[in-house]
Chain A
Amino acid sequence: MGTTTQLREVSATTVLCTIDDLIENAGVCALFDGPNGEEQIALYYLPAQSPSVFALNNWDPLGKANVLSRGILGSVNSTLVVASPLYKQHFSLISGECLEDSTVKVKTYDVDVIDNKIVLLEQKETVASLSQDSPDSAA
């Protein structure tokens, strides 16, 4: 803990769920049993966007609960965001940055839709301070 997780390849065939499990214009949560232990991944489906599926870690670092998949989606000054259902801060779906507090960032994931399956492509570099906050990676 406290060090930057190294960028590493994971199997490009980690299937999280199918497209039918997603909800249009809203989020769901998938459990990913990865190299750091279990991680909760919030999956957002915006059919009108390209790409149409976005993934953030489900942990709300400000509200301190696994709830980001339950936030309302939208745009703030053309940035795609999810609003925390607890205290309403906005997190960029692309970068994971918190719009209200630039020191706070949630982990993002590269996902793709392949044959109607939602596939986790690779684990990206994560910010050290965030992995500290996440009980998934701590456990």
Chain B
Amino acid sequence: MIVNPMNKTKVVVVGNGMVGHHYVEQLRNSNAGCDIVVIGGEPRPAYDRVHLSEYFNGKTAEDLALTTREHYEATDIEAHFGDEVVAIDRDQKQVVAQSGRRFDYDKLVLATGSYPFVPPIPGNEHKRCLVYRTIDDLGAIKANAAGSKVGVVIGGGLLGLECANALLNLGLEVHVIEFAPGLMGVQLDPGGSGMLRRKIEELGVSVHTSTATQKIEALPDSDPHHLRMVFADSDLPLDTDLIVFSAGIRPYDQLAKDSDLRVGDRGGVMIDHHCTSSDPDIYAIGECASLGNFIYGLVAPGYRMAEAAASQLSDNKVSFTGADMSTKLKLLGVDVGAIGDSVGRAKGVQEYVYSNAKQGIYKRIVVSADYTRLLGAVLVGDCADYDMLLQYYLNEIELPEMPESLIVPSSDGAPLLGAGALPMTATVCSCLNVSKGDICAAIDNGCCSVADVKSDTQASTGCGGCAALLKSIVDDEMLSRGMTVNTDICEHFPYTRQDLFNLIKVGEIRSFDALIEQHGRGLGCDICKPAVASILASLWNEHVLQPEHAPLQDTNDRYMANIQKNGTYSVVPRIAGGEITPDKLIVLGEIGKQYNLYTKITGGQRIDLFGARLEELPEIWGILSEAGFETGHAYGKALRTVKSCVGTSWCRYGQQDSTTMAIFIENRYKGLRSPHKIKSAVSGCTRECAEAQSKDFGVIATETGWNLYLGGNGGMKPRHADLFATDLDDETLIKYIDRYLMFYVRTADRLQRTSVWLDNLEGGLEYLKEVVIEDRLGLCAELEQQMEHIVGTYQCEWKAAIDDPDKKKRFKQFVNSDKQDSAVVLVEERQQLRPATDEELDDNMIAKVS
């Protein structure tokens, strides 16, 4: 499409929620050359409303942000926040903001979303009556929860229960008041609803169903509580400190009504399949829109509307014809899933129910009268079957002869719906709208792992619910293409690294020779030898230079220093937490001077001394060891550094003593050999000066303890760490890190960083939580014990090496001469030495020869 830049279409987007933002992204990435203006009523750019309750779980507004002002600016999008649009002037084709500013438009997009419905209960205007919708609402809830004991949520739907979880996280005694006879009445049948209620009550939440609130009264200051709720059918009032209304949403459609656009019977801007309103130049998308008198209150359909609306301005137009409202989520830790006609409203349908009171599991499927098609399902307490059932439903796949086998546990395992049975059009990831066909295309284009497909298609990067299905499709597709990925570590062992770890552990194998004799073939190589050396060190923690281990080590480990391009080495002593005394700094300076070493500060808050010759290493370490330095393992696939800020000891903003914690962590895990290097950091407050979220494990102080982040990485492919657990005390923090690290050491592939490991871990972060926090595999005691062994047997490898004449004598360039390697040529730059470049060497040679 050729666009005349002088005459670009001007698109004004009103509202910058998740859907409004998605629209902007879609339009920006399409071939439609438009000027885009965004006007948001909230003071901040779009954020993730789906995970709003995590705001009480340690996430900040920044964590939830989907974009930034800077990003909009950089992509040429004019954006105004905190200035609500109050009127549309359809004749002038302008919108008017609260500030009085007017904006011209060619095309207008309404993405104003919805607002919480507050039932007309007398007293609902009290300042401790709140709603749950925006980050500002959450701030108000948090402020009112401080010093409070009891909190009430009015509304037992999906959002109400999310909100109950938030109040629980704030430490309140929580009551949920629901007018209808059951919780989540829209999605669940009475059986599922009852099971959900039982499980939630077990968590200490009081549930009151079929309860209508008559009025809310303010209590005098002398009373321990602030508010009293009076109910229609009960003599017993309920005293509370705050009330959150979460009794449904209503579309923000006032703008449309005021400007005479048609609205639906139940509100919402009436739209057609192109998301066009009754004015052809005005679109509406998301929760403010009504298609066929239905308001889609989930984010995925909102995204599909955004895509359809954006496509109208490009060459490749698509329609929005409605969306599946199936949903799977965790409410207060309880798995809940609802698919299709979950309640079985249609006539003549059949149903199967499985209910297990002891395990707290309820499953129900609704099938067609002829028992061949799945029409709906309810799952409570166990959503393992959700993905499979959803595929049966969405793709109208014929059910097995005994449909009950899909939900009844059997000793043989349920008959799996093979990934191969899914049609290419099957949607696998509904958040990012990735079909099975997209996944196959990615594999055809060279992806050959789940992680590759994830980064190529974005599948499973939203809620992550489809991770297991994604993996089985990738496995199945690769198999069918004959791309059986050989997971053998190398030609010498028909095993993965994880297999080798288990063989070594169970067989108590202590050397490479014993391992290859029992389980391998040939001599080994530079792939399997260092990998096995690392496993042996992780398990038995013997010195890496013991005669049977030394030949297995990569040159860095073998000489306990980092080889540089000219064959010399760099030396990095440990400076735990980045804290160093002036005396020790002077020692480093003196060594640098004495041995003419190039000196540089590393990214991990320590000092790297470059250019040491092999034969100089023991001398240098003699001095370092004397001065109290230990090896920094910069050469090893091992724990490297734990970066820190100065925390409460110096910083005005510090919330915990991050430096002491960082030093403790570094000293605890120093020497731990692992599949790849491990880095960590501890920040003393949410300003995050230590950059903990870019580390394999990062710790950030909170008011009451520590938040733990896992799986971060800088480097080639940066990954933000995932928030794993919040407000931990010191002991629990260390316990979780012990378990996490050891679980990684056991199960990761060779040279696999924690970030990739976590991306490939089946079940992802949730599974990791189950293993590390809930001890699902019953492995935690063993993992901790193994870590204790490593911590207890720590020795400074360098000190041990210089104390042992046999080890020490290996640090020589020549076995038969004390001469130095004449090929090492250095030149001066900025008052230090560096290796000569090839060109400089050539000149040097010529000079030498002539």
Contact = CB atoms under 8 A, between A and B. Distances in A.
Contact of A138 (B565, B817, B849): B849
Contacts of B815: 16-17, 21-22, 28-30, 43
B810 A23 contact: yes
Interface in B532-575: 547, 550-555, 558-559, 563, 565-567
B526 A31 contact: no
B797 to A, nearest CB: 17
A65 B835 CA distance: 11
B526 A16 contact: no
Interface stretch (B110-118, B290-298, B422-430, B517-525): B517-525
A72 B566 contact: no
A76 B527 CA distance: 11
B376 interface: no
Nearest to B553: A72
A66 B530 CA distance: 22
Interface string B808-850: 0010011111010111100000000000001000000100110
B537 to A, nearest CB: 16
Contacts of B559: 70
Interface in A48-77: 59, 63-67, 70-77
Contacts of A135: 822-823, 845
A86 interface: yes
Contacts of B554: 72, 85
- Most central of A17, A22, A40, A90 by chain B CB within 10 Å: A40
A130 interface: no
A21 B812 CA distance: 11
Contacts of A139: 822, 848
B545 to A, nearest CB: 11
Nearest to B552: A72
B258 interface: no
B529 A31 contact: no
Interface string A12-35: 000011000111111011110000
Contacts of A26: 550-551, 558
Nearest to B525: A74
B385 interface: no
Contacts of A75: 492, 522-525
- Most central of B522, B553, B567, B848 by chain A CB within 10 Å: B567
A72 B526 contact: yes
B816 A16 contact: yes
Query: How large, as a class, is the contact surface on chain A?
Result: 35 or more
A31 B813 CA distance: 9
Interface string B587-600: 00000000000000
B803 interface: no
B782 interface: no
B821 A71 contact: no
A6 interface: no
B816 A71 contact: no
B491 interface: yes
Contact of B567 (A17, A67, A78): A67
A66 to B, nearest CB: 5
- Most central of B525, B547, B550 by chain A CB within 10 Å: B525
- Most central of A25, A43, A90 by chain B CB within 10 Å: A25
A65 B566 contact: yes
A138 to B, nearest CB: 6
B555 A67 contact: yes
B555 A71 contact: yes
A72 B563 CA distance: 14
A16 B823 CA distance: 20
A121 interface: no
A76 B498 CA distance: 22
A24 B547 contact: yes
Given A24-B551, A63-B565, A139-B848, A80 B523 contact: yes
A23 B551 contact: yes
B491 A30 contact: no
A73 B817 contact: no
Contacts of B563: 67, 70, 85-86
B567 A29 contact: no
- Most central of A66, A71, A72, A90 by chain B CB within 10 Å: A72
A64 B555 CA distance: 16
Contacts of A21: 815-816
Contact of A70 (B524, B558, B822): B558
Given A72-B525, A88-B526, A135-B823, A65 B565 contact: yes
Given A17-B816, A72-B551, A77-B491, A59 B822 contact: no
- Most central of B565, B810, B814, B824 by chain A CB within 10 Å: B814
A30 B814 contact: yes
Given A30-B816, A75-B522, A85 B555 contact: yes
- Most central of A63, A74, A88 by chain B CB within 10 Å: A74
Contacts of A16: 815-816
A83 interface: yes
A111 to B, nearest CB: 13
Given A75-B522, A76-B491, A78-B522, A25 B551 contact: yes
B525 A83 contact: yes
A78 B538 CA distance: 30
A110 interface: no
A125 interface: no
A63 B815 CA distance: 22
Contacts of A24: 547, 551
A36 to B, nearest CB: 13
B529 A72 contact: yes
Interface string B610-648: 000000000000000000000000000000000000000
A83 B526 contact: yes
Contacts of A136: 822-823
Contact of A72 (B492, B530, B822): B530
A105 B325 CA distance: 65
A69 B838 CA distance: 22
B550 A23 contact: yes
A86 B566 CA distance: 9
Nearest to A68: B567
A64 B566 CA distance: 7
Contacts of B848: 138-139
Contacts of B845: 135, 138
Nearest to B849: A138
A81 B526 CA distance: 10
A132 B360 CA distance: 77
A38 to B, nearest CB: 7
A136 B566 CA distance: 15
B491 to A, nearest CB: 7
Contacts of A77: 491
A75 B448 CA distance: 27
A66 B821 contact: yes
A59 B566 CA distance: 11
Given A31-B814, A138-B849, A65 B823 contact: yes
B526 A40 contact: no
B765 to A, nearest CB: 34
A47 B817 CA distance: 24
A110 to B, nearest CB: 18
B612 to A, nearest CB: 14
Contacts of B528: 74
A11 B488 CA distance: 48
A80 B771 CA distance: 43
- Most central of B528, B554, B848 by chain A CB within 10 Å: B554
Given A29-B815, A76-B525, 4 more contacts: A26-B558, A88-B526, A135-B822, A138-B845
29 contacts: A16-B815, A23-B551, A25-B551, A26-B551, A26-B558, A29-B815, A30-B814, A31-B817, A31-B819, A65-B823, A66-B821, A66-B823, A67-B563, A70-B558, A71-B555, A72-B525, A72-B552, A72-B554, A73-B551, A74-B492, A81-B525, A83-B525, A86-B565, A86-B567, A88-B526, A135-B823, A136-B822, A138-B845, A138-B848
Would you list the 7 A-B pairs with minimal beta carbon distance, nearest first? A74-B525, A85-B555, A65-B567, A83-B526, A26-B551, A21-B815, A72-B526
